[in-house]
Chains A and B, each alone.
Chain A
Amino acid sequence: MSIGGESLSHTTDVKPQGTPRISGYEAAARKAEVHRNILLTIPALLVLVLAASGPLLVMLLYSFLAPGDYGGVVWQPSVDGWFRVFLTRDIFDDTLMLQDAHVTIFWRSIKLSSMTTVLCILLGFPTAYFIATRSDQTRNLWLFLITIPFWTNLLIRTFAIMEIIRNEGIVNNLLIFVGVIDVPVQMLYTDFAIMVGMTYVYLPLMILPLYASMEKLDFGLVEAGYDLYATRFRVLRRVILPLVKPGLVAGSILVFIPSLGAYVTPRVLGGGKNMMLGNLIELQFGQGQNWPLGAALSIALLAIVMVALIVYVRTAQRSTQAHG
């Protein structure tokens, strides 16, 4: 109450100036809000600096140092780590060559992550739509079911998938039993297995943001689309998709980024051969004992993620604007 009284008494003695006194209050209120916002963001900023920027700077530094003989770095500037990201010297004649193994791994990582993202969209979109169109109580039940996989350790779940798709696993046995195939199909330790595993692991990260934006969708707009002669497909493309795009963008980012750096899934389901970037980086810090290369690879991965993000968000924005 005292605030109201105060402002009243102030407004009574407004000086005959051009700008009204109110703007002074507005400015004060805005200033107070800025202060509040700074206070609110301090914890997050601290975590960011300590847990993200700090290690990142260390990595950046390490990538420009020379490797130690048994891991670690020696304090001697070198671009050898960066050099080895994509290039290698022939052991016989010392000529520069493309490091085929690395290129393959980069390409596999990008390909599998993109395919996983697309697969998650294809599976997650109908699921989220289904949940969003249920009644309030059943919705919560469905969401709860979606989160159940999070209760179990990732490694255990991945081994479970292994059990399902290995040569003597359920899928192969079933196919043989039905008579579709005579000999087991090799699924385990292939790119396919990695993709299946990653799709399974990251699907909830697509469904949840998609659901969040679909829940806000006014289904009256879908009816309006039908009313105005749009077929089901065109309602999907012209009405639903543009409106749930924020969820789609968020879900894609949440799936694509961890897929690109995935470690456990390709390690278990891809075997030793089908490495992805995460495994390659781990190799450099472990067996390979080339920390600068590992650091350079990590930062290269980060760069890919950032470029992909910028391109993706830009395109998403542009297509939204084009449609109005």
Chain B
Amino acid sequence: MRHSSTDTASGGTSAIEAVNVTKTFGSGDEAVHALKDVSVTIRENEFFTLLGPSGCGKTTLLRLIAGFDHQTEGTILLHGEDISLLPPFKRPVNTVFQNYALFPHMTVAQNIGFGLEMLRKPKAEIENTVGGMLRLVKMEELKTRRTDQISGGQQQRVALARALAPRPRVLLLDEPLSALDYKLRKDMQIELKRLQLETGITFIFVTHDQEEALTMSDRLAVMNAGRIRQIGTPREIYDHPAERFVADFIGDTNFLTADLLSADGGAISVRLTSGREITLECDHPAAASRHLTLAVRPEQVRLTADGSASPLNGVLENIVYFGTDTHYHLRLQDGGSFTARLQNSRERQELFAEGDQLGIVFDPETVQVLRD
């Protein structure tokens, strides 16, 4: 049943659809524009991630989908139906809250069973499901504890189980793994992914952690300042960031400025600050402007001792050893900095030394032309 992320991205009906959604808190001078004209379609049984810096509107978008707040403008559809007027308790959507929001006057088991109880499920079924959930989040021993007497990570797991127990159509997860230690976090990531595939529930997952976003998502949206900057599969986002913000936010990137010389269909020819001319692929109309920003991932770069044929040259300033790879920080002729990340191997050990004049070589296909 496991299909590749690109498959999911290209097919399936929509679970959640936000159309031109705007959310403004307050009014007048104090107005906060938390979401600005956000449109996104999240497909059924998709693991969709919202990624972005703090305050960019991730929680706000989830709250609109859950029904706790109402959008100032725009529509939100669930399976094609406008749910804007439905109260939260009538939406088949559950939330794992950023601050857990567990009921402190109930035990772990009572918290997990609460949703099913409210749906008036038979007692036996509730007990059964709660038992399964407790096992899933490894909380069986603590099921009779009150939720103010368990650790932060345990609370997070209970919050997850509580939201999953009623088997919602869409599960909203607001940074659900942030309080877990590394090992448990990795386990829960795998567990979440498995759950999502098995249950057919659409997951909308919010995280700060780009590695988590890249490894778990079918598709992800990168947000900034209330807007969605780019939507795509992890591969698309990482390899083809559309703009500077995305390239900068996801992974490490070297930015180069260049002048446009000529454009010919999908190929453009540019001059780098070093004076060298290169030809690049570029499939979007950004190439209309004369000055371009190019992005080059540090791991897509090779260094050569002889710089005469390479598009860029730089002086090696600093070498940082990272175990599996080494980061080489170079100073370009135009004063900019450039980082190359080379995998460590026996042969490459003592190739370069600080102070060396090196050539920087990269494949034109790995260079991204950014929209500004």
- A: residues with CB less than 8 A from B are 218, 220-221, 223-231, 234, 238-239, 242-243, 320, 323-324
Q: Which residues of B contact A320 (CB under 8 A)?
A: 105
Partner of B104, one of A225, A229, A243: A243
Which residue of chain A is the closest to B107 with respect to CB atoms?
A324
Q: Are B118 and A230 in contact (CB under 8 A)?
A: yes
Which residues on B sit within 8 Å (CB–CB) of A228?
A: 89, 94, 114-115, 118, 162-163, 166
B146 to chain A, nearest CB (A): 7
Main secondary structure of the interface of B (DSSP, over half): mixed
A323 to B114 CA separation, bound complex (whole angstroms): 11
How distant is the Cα of A238 from the Cα of B89 in the complex, in angstroms? 14
CB of B108, distance to nearest CB on chain A (Å): 10
| CA gap between A243 and B104 in the complex, in Å | 8
* Neighbouring A residues of B87 by C-beta, 8 Å: 226
Given A229-B115, A234-B118, A221 and B88 contact (CB-CB distance below 8 Å): no
- Asked if A226 meets B89 with Cβ closer than 8 Å, knowing A234-B118, A324-B110, the reply is yes
- Chain B's closest residue to A221 (CB) is B101
Contact with A along B85-110 (1 / 0, CB 8 A): 00111000111010101111111001
Q: Is the C-beta of B119 less than 8 angstroms from some C-beta in chain A?
A: yes
The complex places the Cα of A131 from the Cα of B248 at a distance, in Å, of 46
A-B CB pair tally, cutoff 8 Å? 65
Q: Distance in Å from the Cβ of A215 to the closest Cβ of chain B? A: 16
CB contacts (< 8 Å) of A225 on chain B: these are 103, 114
Question: For this complex, into which size category does the number of interface residues on chain B fall?
Answer: 20 to 34
Tell me the nearest residue of chain A to B165, going by C-beta.
A228
**Nearest 6 interchain pairs by C-beta:** A228-B115, A324-B106, A224-B101, A226-B88, A229-B118, A220-B101
Question: Does any Cβ of A come within 8 Å of B220's Cβ?
Answer: no
Q: Does B247 contact A (CB under 8 A)?
A: no
| Contacts known (A227-B94, A230-B118); A239 close to B68, Cβ less than 8 A | no
Contacts of A221 in B (CB 8 A): 101, 103-104
B66 at the interface (CB under 8 A from A): yes
- Given A228-B166, A229-B115, A324-B146, does the pair A223, B103 have CB atoms closer than 8 Å? no
In the complex, which residues of chain A have a beta carbon less than 8 angstroms from the beta carbon of B163? 227-228
User: Which residues of chain B from 161 to 217 have any CB-CB distance to chain A below 8 Å in the complex?
Assistant: 162-163, 166
Given A226-B68, A228-B94, A229-B166, decide whether A242 and B105 contact each other with a Cβ distance below 8 A: yes
| A238 contacts across to B, CB distance below 8 A | 114
Distance in Å from the Cβ of A316 to the closest Cβ of chain B?
13
User: Which B residue sits closest to A219, measured CB to CB?
Assistant: B101
19 inter-chain pairs at a CB distance below 8 angstroms, sorted by A residue, are: A220-B99, A221-B103, A221-B104, A223-B101, A224-B103, A226-B89, A227-B88, A227-B95, A228-B114, A228-B115, A228-B118, A228-B162, A228-B166, A229-B119, A234-B118, A243-B105, A324-B103, A324-B105, A324-B110
B residues sitting closer than 8 Å to A (CB atoms) are 66-68, 87-89, 93-95, 97, 99, 101-107, 110, 114-115, 118-119, 146, 162-163, 166
Identity of the chain A residue whose Cβ is nearest the Cβ of B69 in the assembled complex: A223
- The answer to whether A220 and B97 touch across the interface, beta carbons within 8 angstroms, is yes
Asked if B97 contacts A224 (CB within 8 A), the reply is yes
A239 CA / B102 CA spacing, docked (Å): 11
Which residue of chain B has the shortest Cβ distance to A231 in the bound complex?
Answer: B89
Contacts of B115 in A (CB 8 A): 228-229
CB proximity of A56 to chain B, nearest CB, Å: 37
For A230, list chain B residues within 8 Å (CB).
Answer: 89, 114, 118
Of chain A, the residue at the smallest CB distance from B94 is: A227
In the complex, residue of chain A having the shortest beta-carbon distance to the beta carbon of B159: A224
**Bound state CA distance, A320 and B95, in angstroms?**
26
Closest to A228 in B: B115
Are the CB atoms of A227 and B66 closer together than 8 Å?
A: yes
Closest Cβ–Cβ distance, residue B114 to chain A (whole Å): 5
| A324 cross-chain contacts in B, Cβ below 8 A | 103, 105-107, 110, 146
Complex Cα distance, B120 from A234, in Å, reads: 12
Q: Residues of A contacting B104 with CB < 8 Å?
A: 221, 243
Instruction: Determine how close the nearest CB of chain A comes to the CB of B139; give it in whole angstroms.
Output: 15
Beyond A224-B101, A227-B163, 16 additional pairs, beta carbon < 8 A: A220-B97, A223-B66, A223-B68, A223-B101, A224-B97, A226-B68, A227-B88, A228-B89, A228-B118, A229-B119, A229-B166, A231-B89, A238-B114, A243-B105, A323-B105, A324-B110
Q: Which A residues lie within 8 Å of B68 (CB)?
A: 223, 226-227
Q: In the complex, which residues of chain A have a beta carbon less than 8 angstroms from the beta carbon of B66?
A: 223, 227
Known A223-B88, A226-B89, A229-B166; judge A218-B101 contact (CB<8 A).
Answer: yes
Per the bound structure, the CA–CA distance linking A243 and B93 in Å amounts to: 25
Return the chain B residue nearest A324 by Cβ: B106
Specify which chain A residues have a CB less than 8 angstroms from the CB of B166 in the assembled complex: 228-229
User: Which residues on the A side are within 8 Å of B93 (C-beta)?
Assistant: 227
- A267–chain B nearest beta-carbon distance, Å: 43
CA distance A238 to B110 in the complex (A): 11
A residues in contact with B89, CB < 8 Å: 226-231
Neighbouring A residues of B94 by C-beta, 8 Å: 227-228
CB distance from B336 to the nearest CB of A (A): 46
Residue among B99, B101, B107 having the largest count of chain A Cβ atoms under 10 Å: B101
With a CB–CB cut-off of 8 A, which chain A residues contact B88?
223, 226-227
Q: How far is the CA of A69 from the CA of B67 in the complex (A)?
A: 76
A residues less than 8 Å from B67 (CB atoms) = 226
Q: Could you tell me the distance between the alpha carbons of A194 and B244 in the complex, rounded to whole angstroms? A: 74
For A245, the closest partner residue in chain B by CB is B105
* CB-defined contacts of A220 to chain B, threshold 8 Å: 97, 99, 101
A229 to B116 CA separation, bound complex (whole angstroms): 8
Cα of A229 to Cα of B89 in the assembled complex, Å: 4
B106 touches A323 (CB 8 A): yes
Minimum CB–CB distance from B308 to chain A (whole Å) comes to: 63
Smallest beta-carbon distance B232→chain A, Å: 29
> How near does chain A come to B89, taking the closest CB pair, in angstroms?
5
